[in-house]
């Protein structure tokens, strides 16, 4: 059963100027916190992730989204470290989000949920660390939107982290990335079942729209080579083309499957709010046009990881982060892992990444 | 083994507690040694990701990067020493790199294999082919060493671009130190490698 912590005493103030009350944070922990509290690892999940980083996800009955990396004897070893992973603010897996009950209207927030930012997500994680009485984590780690949260930790709460591992991420969402997100949101909002975000009132949900959003996004997470290798122009369970709009090609069938499965586990409004939070992320403009200024007070060791085949968050964006950290004299390492799997490489079997994370983390632990 | 001799000389050149950048740091052996023995604040750049991983396991902060392109990201005078160990001969523009080293570092330590060594000269003279030696084992068409030079060549380049040589040490193939003073010709003949401590002349 997922753990839940509830804050009712104070309003939770957001970057937008609005606030949320009450705030609930759903989280999971794995392993044991040591006596000195020096072995805590905070995992930040990506756009459609959740708190079930490893072991069996009790809802899907499948291994957690980062089970390949996190667990007994794995690079993030549950025998050694105390792992914390919470569902992000605005999410739909237990933490307060658009599908949560708005106490003022006595119905789900829907579009009345305030627009949240990556900083707001991180601020809620700080409350969780306070609740767990952990003054400083050994490391904060995450990929993609999780990596953005890691960068926000480095910038805003440098004293709460001993080290940080931002993976396949960027200091700002690029124009192309905002564009893809907009396509996804428009697909959701064009679905008549969306009902201006009030689909709960109609006992329905914009499954078609959300599914299309997921299909588009999924393409951006892979690479041309990966798609070509996996599917080529192979036909789906048929000997020849049907001269129709059936899913003749395997790649079509695969994408449809991805879309259909996604809507079973994800809330459409959450998708709107979380993609928006990523779009708004920009550590450069927030620091007067100089990224390095985001890291003025940072004393942690940082290991930046990118993948050569990631065109959504290309290596050059990671290099900009490394460049900025270097100019501030931060203890920074950087590795650009050779991979043709695209952006999602950080979720997959990438032995070089496992080696990097294991080595860096162990060195930080004994330091 | 010749590498180890090289490292010991570098270790002697580096002051206790200084800040050091090793360009082309390989598996981090030199940085680790300097960290342990000289308590330096160690940083590295390495081209190959598998070697970066070996450095990370040692707890060394190392950035995967290319000396040809990535030195520009370091601010002026951000290190006490910038080390380029047996890498100068494989970069695209050795002269520019030398200038970069002394922009980033207050001092630079550069080691080179000496292409003026008598065996190299003899190989070319006798065989009429590009020299191959135990320390330069690759064929001319697949060697990474595209800008090999002799000790003499290096000294003239430093002179040309106004770099002051604070200390120079040449080693023979057994790792024995050769006396530089007034004996450049013979050092250039029997030195297998040389290590230089450099700074800008106007400093």
Touching B: A residues 327-346, CB under 8 Å: 327, 329, 331-338
CA distance B87 to chain A (A): 20
Please name the CATH architecture into which domain A177-276 falls: Orthogonal Bundle (1.10)
Is B52 in contact with A338 (Cβ distance < 8 A)?
Answer: no
CA distance B74 to chain A (A): 6
Kindly list the domain boundaries of chain A, sorted by start residue. 3-172+283-366, 177-276
Q: Mean pLDDT in chain A?
A: 96
Contact A149, A157 (CB under 8 A): no
Q: Which of A167, A322, A324, A326 would you mutate first to test chain B, the one with the most B CBs within 10 A?
A: A326
With pLDDT > 70 as the criterion, what percentage of chain B qualifies? 98
State how beta strands B105-113 and B193-200 pair.
antiparallel
CA distance B71 to chain A (A): 10
Is A352 in contact with B50 (Cβ distance < 8 A)?
Answer: yes
Buried b (16+ CB within 10 A) or exposed e, A327-353: bbbbbbbbbbbebbbbbbbbbeebebb
User: Is B137 a member of any domain?
Assistant: no
From the list B53, B65, B75, the residue facing A359 with the nearest CB is B53
* Alpha carbon distance A255, A221 (integer Å): 12
CATH number of the domain residue B6 falls in = 3.40.50.150
Catalytic residue check, A144 = yes
From the list B49, B55, B56, the residue facing A336 with the nearest CB is B49
From the list B49, B55, B63, the residue facing A337 with the nearest CB is B49
- The total domain count for chain B is 1
Catalytic residue check, A343 = yes
User: Does residue B1 carry a pLDDT above 70?
Assistant: no
Q: Which residue of A has its CA nearest to B57?
A: A359
Chain B residues near any Cβ of chain A (below 8 Å):
43, 49-50, 52-53, 55-65, 73-75, 78
- Kindly give the confidence (pLDDT) of every residue in chain A, 367 residues in length, as a single tens digit, with 9 standing for 90 and above: 679 898 876 789 999 999 999 999 999 999 999 999 999 999 999 999 999 999 999 999 999 999 999 999 999 999 999 999 999 999 999 999 999 999 889 999 999 999 999 999 999 999 999 999 999 999 999 999 999 999 999 999 999 999 999 999 999 999 999 999 999 999 999 999 999 999 999 999 999 999 999 999 999 999 999 999 999 999 999 999 999 999 999 999 999 999 999 999 999 999 999 999 999 999 999 999 999 999 999 999 999 999 999 999 999 999 999 999 999 999 999 999 999 999 999 999 999 999 999 999 999 999 8
Contact B9, B169 (CB under 8 A): yes
- The whole domain housing B46 covers 2-115+149-200
A176-232: per-residue pLDDT in tens?
999 999 999 999 999 999 999 999 999 999 999 999 999 999 999 999 999 999 999
User: Which class does domain A3-172+283-366 fall in?
Assistant: alpha beta
């Amino acid at each position: 059963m997922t753990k839940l912590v509830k804050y009712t005493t104070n309003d939770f103030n957001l970057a937008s100027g609005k606030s949320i009350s009450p705030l609930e944070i759903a989280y999971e922990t794995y392993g044991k916190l040591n006596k000195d509290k020096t072995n805590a690892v905070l995992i930040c999940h990506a756009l459609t992730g959740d708190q079930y980083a490893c072991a069996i996800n009790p809802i899907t009955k499948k291994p957690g989204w980062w089970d390949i990396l996190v667990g007994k004897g794995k690079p993030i070893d549950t025998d050694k470290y105390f792992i914390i992973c919470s569902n992000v603010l605005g999410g739909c897996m237990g933490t307060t989000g658009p599908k949560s009950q708005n106490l003022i209207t006595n119905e789900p927030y829907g579009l009345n949920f305030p627009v949240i930012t990556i900083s707001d997500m991180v601020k809620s994680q700080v409350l969780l660390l306070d609740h767990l009485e952990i003054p400083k984590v050994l490391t904060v780690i995450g990929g993609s939107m999780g990596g953005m949260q890691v960068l926000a930790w480095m910038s805003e709460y440098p004293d709460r982290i001993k080290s940080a591992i931002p993976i396949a991420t960027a200091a700002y969402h690029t124009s192309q990335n905002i564009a893809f997100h907009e396509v996804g949101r428009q697909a959701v909002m064009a679905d008549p079942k969306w009902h201006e975000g009030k689909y709960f009132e109609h006992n329905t949900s914009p499954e078609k729209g959300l599914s299309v959003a997921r299909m588009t996004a999924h393409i951006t997470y892979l690479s041309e080579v990966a798609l070509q290798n996996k599917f080529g122009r192979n036909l789906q369970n048929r000997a020849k083309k049907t001269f129709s709009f059936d899913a003749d090609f395997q790649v079509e069938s695969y994408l449809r499957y991805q879309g259909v499965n996604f809507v079973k586990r994800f809330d459409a409004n959450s998708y709107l709010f979380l993609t928006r939070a990523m779009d708004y992320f920009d550590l450069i403009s927030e620091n007067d046009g100089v990224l390095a200024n985001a890291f003025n007070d940072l004393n942690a060791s940082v290991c930046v990881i990118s993948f050569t085949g990631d065109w959504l968050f290309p290596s050059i964006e990671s290099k900009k982060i490394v460049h900025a950290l270097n100019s501030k004299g931060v203890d920074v390492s950087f590795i650009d892992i050779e991979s043709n799997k695209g952006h999602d490489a950080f979720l997959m079997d990438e032995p070089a990444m496992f080696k990097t994370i294991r080595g860096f983390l162990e060195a930080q632990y004994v330091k | 083994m010749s590498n180890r001799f090289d490292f010991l000389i570098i270790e002697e050149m580096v002051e206790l507690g200084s800040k050091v950048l090793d360009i082309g740091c390989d598996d981090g052996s030199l940085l680790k040694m300097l960290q342990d023995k000289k308590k330096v604040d160690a940083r590295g750049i390495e081209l190959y990701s598998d070697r970066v991983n070996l450095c990370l396991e040692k707890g060394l902060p190392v950035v995967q990067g290319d000396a040809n392109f990535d030195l520009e990201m370091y601010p002026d005078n951000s290190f006490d020493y910038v080390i380029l160990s047996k890498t100068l001969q494989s970069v695209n523009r050795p002269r520019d790199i030398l200038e970069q080293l002394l922009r980033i570092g207050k001092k630079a330590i550069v080691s080179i294999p000496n292409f003026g060594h008598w065996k190299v000269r003899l190989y070319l003279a006798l065989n009429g082919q590009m020299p191959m030696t135990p320390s330069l084992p690759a064929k001319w068409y697949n060697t990474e060493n595209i800008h090999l030079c002799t000790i003499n060549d290096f000294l003239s380049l430093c002179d040309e671009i106004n770099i002051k040589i604070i200390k120079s040490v040449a080693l023979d193939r057994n790792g024995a130190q050769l006396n530089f003073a007034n004996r450049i010709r013979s050092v250039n003949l029997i030195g297998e490698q040389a290590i230089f401590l450099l700074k800008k002349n106007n400093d």
